[in-house]
Amino acid sequence: MKNIGITPQYGSIRGGTDGAALSHQGLPCPNLFAGEQAIHSKYEWVSVQDMEKGVDTIIEICRLVSKM
């Protein structure tokens, strides 16, 4: 995330159960952000810019993993 200009925020969140189970079995599964605002409310929304940063993050992860 730092490589694409995002400062990561660390903390515990609920969710990601499937990814946690797969990670436990040896397949790393990052819990990626979706950029949503007012989450789980009737006013939930996400901006195009946040979605673009999500895509940039996935592409950067793929780029880094491909160099391993």
- Burial string for 14-28 (b: 16+ CB within 10 Å, else e) reads eeeeeeeeeeeeeee
Q: What is the pLDDT of residue 19?
A: 77
Q: For residue 50, what are its two tokens? A: 């946040």
pLDDT tens digits along 21-57 = 888 888 877 777 777 789 888 999 999 999 999 899 9
Given this model, what pLDDT does residue 24 score?
83
- Give the predicted TM-score (pTM) of the model: 0.68
pLDDT of residue 48: 93
Domain boundaries, the chain: 2-66
Instruction: Report the pLDDT value the prediction gives residue 27, as an integer from 0 to 100.
Output: 84
